[in-house]
Amino acid sequence: MGWLAQAVGHADRNVPLRNYCTGLLLDGERKSVEPMAARLAPDHVQSMHESLHHFVAQSPWSDTDILGQVRNYVLPAMQKMGPVTAWIVDETSFVKKGTHSVGVARQYCGRLGKKENCQVAVSLSVATASTSLPIAWRLYLTEEWASDAERRKQVDVPKEVQFQTKPQIALAQIQQAVKDGVSPGVVLADEVYGSNREFREGVADLKLEYSVAVRSTTTVWAMDRQPLPPKPWKGKGPKPTRMRRDQEHQPITAKQLAQELPEEYWREVAWREGSKETLRSRFAALRVRPAYGDDRKGSLQPQQWLLIEWPTGAEEPSGYWLARLPEKSSLKQLVGISKHRWVIERDYEELKQELGLGHYEGRNWRGFHHHGTLCIAAYGFLVAERSRFSPSAHIGNIGLRSAPIPPDFRPRGAKDSRPTA
């Protein structure tokens, strides 16, 4: 808390900062201001409530500064367990009743898999092989919301906040992370972001690698080359055939290309151990160039990998990725990094279920972001503490010292082994 206090400005904010984060970490189903106040100060609920509410809804401390402090504290602890492997773009939604809370609109809700009245926030997380941490967090405003001056005034949306698409928000977060010198990783994102040309090109302009999901309708120029086998072909068995388009060399959708691939293009790959069994599926990968209307010969865009997943027995492919990764990458490497987005599932599960990320009951812009920032701060503390221990650590070899055992200590209920008179 002393580390975080450096970023909130006035010293009189240190106590409510500590109280709010403590309230988020304590037991309890609801982590909104009122129930937290009751748990923190049962004899002075009203004064505690006022203090917490003012701190989260009105106090003008910087979310960016706090998240920067969290990142600087937690990332070194994460990196002791392994290097940064990925930057993961994601969004999370909160179902809301009514229309008065900032950003609430009828829009796609990932939690429900359909359109619903909800708020949606875009985030950027930094991930190692086993751990991840959100480092940027921003509410998405629909174009209707962003252009409604009266609604903006009611919930105090800052003047500098204008309409941005989700890919634009995510790209700005990535640009800021590069500017801040965050250890780079492969950028991962779902098809909302990956299917956006400007997002992919913006990431490439930052000299970052990526593997992003794209829609089946994404068009590409298929290169006249062999598919990517899991190991170099050594002349045993049938030689893989080459993909050839017709003489006009027309672009093709990712789905059409998958359906045309011969059987020898497909390999079964396992990418991680699930809770019940090893996760595996059937994949193919080949070099392509994205096809755009201003590139009629497929020569303006650099070559990338098109990775396709088509589970055995399924009627059609289940996933497509464009990957700006080295040409010498193996199929297992492509699958491993492209599937690495799963690591942030635990983040949002714990942020929502344990730390009350969606429990904020205020309506204004500042309160929504302050609450999210403090939830991430509390979560970051847990991540840092977990990172101190090896997953296979046992007491006695993790560097902890225990108090000496008194010579006359006897466990409760045990027989006294001392000699009797």
Q: Residue 176: pLDDT band by 50, 70, 90 thresholds?
A: very high
Amino acid 391: pLDDT: 56
Select from 311, 326, 342 the last residue of a domain.
342
Q: How many Cβ atoms from other residues are within 10 Å of residue 275's Cβ?
A: 5
Structure tokens at 413: 């209920």
If one counts the domains in the chain, the total is 2
Report the percent of the chain where pLDDT is more than 70: 84
From 146, 126, 145, select the one nearest 136 (Cα to Cα): 126
Amino acid 256: pLDDT: 94
Alpha-carbon torsion (335, 336, 340, 343), positive or negative: positive
Show the beta-strand stretches assigned E in 227-266.
252-253
Residues 366 and 318 in one domain: no
pLDDT digits (tens, 9 = 90+) for 131-163: 999 999 999 999 999 999 999 999 999 999 999
Q: Is residue 420 included in any domain, yes or no? A: no
Residues 227 and 123 in one domain: no
Residue type, 155: V
Amino acid 273: pLDDT: 77
Q: Residue 296: pLDDT band by 50, 70, 90 thresholds?
A: low
CA distances from 72 to 7, 22, 62, 85, 126 (A): 12, 20, 16, 17, 12
Q: Is residue 242 included in any domain, yes or no? A: no
Residues 19 and 113 in one domain: yes
pLDDT digits (tens, 9 = 90+) for 186-207: 999 999 999 999 999 999 999 9
- Measured CA to CA, the distance from residue 245 to residue 316 in angstroms comes to 21
- Measured CA to CA, the distance from residue 106 to residue 96 in angstroms comes to 10
- Cβ-based burial of 337 (10 A; exposed 0-12, middle 13-18, buried ≥19): buried
The residue-averaged pLDDT of 214-243 equals 61
Structure tokens at 119: 């708020």
The residue-averaged pLDDT of 30-46 equals 94
CA distances from 206 to 111, 122, 137, 187 (A): 31, 20, 20, 11
Which of 165-174, 279-288, 341-350, 409-418: highest mean pLDDT? 165-174
- Is residue 64 predicted with pLDDT exceeding 90? yes
Residues 52 and 166 in one domain: yes
Q: Is residue 409 included in any domain, yes or no? A: no
Mean model confidence pLDDT for the chain: 86
Q: Residue 390: pLDDT band by 50, 70, 90 thresholds?
A: low
Structure tokens at 350: 């714990």
Q: Is residue 281 included in any domain, yes or no? A: yes
Residues 179 and 223 in one domain: no
From 113, 119, 168, 114, select the one nearest 139 (Cα to Cα): 119
Q: How many Cβ atoms from other residues are within 10 Å of residue 387's Cβ?
A: 21
The residue-averaged pLDDT of 62-78 equals 95
Q: Is residue 26 included in any domain, yes or no? A: yes
Q: Is residue 414 included in any domain, yes or no? A: no
Residues 47 and 114 in one domain: yes
- Is residue 402 predicted with pLDDT exceeding 70? no
Residues 89 and 109 in one domain: yes
Buried b (16+ CB within 10 A) or exposed e, 72-95: ebbbebbeebeebbbbbbbbbbbe
Q: Is residue 267 included in any domain, yes or no? A: yes
361: alpha, beta or left, given left = phi > 0 and alpha = psi -120 to 50? alpha
Residues 53 and 138 in one domain: yes
Terminal-residue alpha carbon distance, the chain: 56
Domain of residue 319 covers: 211-233+247-342
- Is residue 117 predicted with pLDDT exceeding 70? yes
> Which range has the worst mean pLDDT, 61-65, 153-157, 409-413?
409-413
Structure tokens at 109: 């809700």
Q: Tell me the three state secondary structure of residue 347.
A: helix
Residues 323 and 361 in one domain: no
- Measured CA to CA, the distance from residue 335 to residue 332 in angstroms comes to 5
Select from 317, 342, 367 the last residue of a domain.
342
- Is residue 393 predicted with pLDDT exceeding 60? no
Q: Are strands 267-273 and 252-253 parallel, antiparallel or unpaired?
A: unpaired
250: alpha, beta or left, given left = phi > 0 and alpha = psi -120 to 50? beta
More confident residue, 362 or 212: 212
pLDDT digits (tens, 9 = 90+) for 80-114: 989 999 999 999 999 988 888 999 999 988 878 88
Residue type, 418: R
Amino acid 293: pLDDT: 63
Residues 74 and 20 in one domain: yes
- Is residue 324 predicted with pLDDT exceeding 50? yes
Select from 284, 318, 342 the last residue of a domain.
342
Amino acid 417: pLDDT: 45
Residues 27 and 99 in one domain: yes
Amino acid 241: pLDDT: 46
Q: Is residue 20 included in any domain, yes or no? A: yes
From 166, 170, 175, 123, select the one nearest 146 (Cα to Cα): 166
What pTM was estimated for this model as a whole? 0.86
- Measured CA to CA, the distance from residue 301 to residue 391 in angstroms comes to 43
Residues 261 and 303 in one domain: yes
Structure tokens at 304: 């990338």
Amino acid 70: pLDDT: 96
The residue-averaged pLDDT of 53-64 equals 95
pLDDT digits (tens, 9 = 90+) for 19-28: 999 999 999 8
Q: Tell me the three state secondary structure of residue 156.
A: coil
- Is residue 236 predicted with pLDDT exceeding 70? no
Q: Which residues contact 200 (CB under 8 A, 6 or more apart)?
A: 194, 210, 212, 290, 322, 324
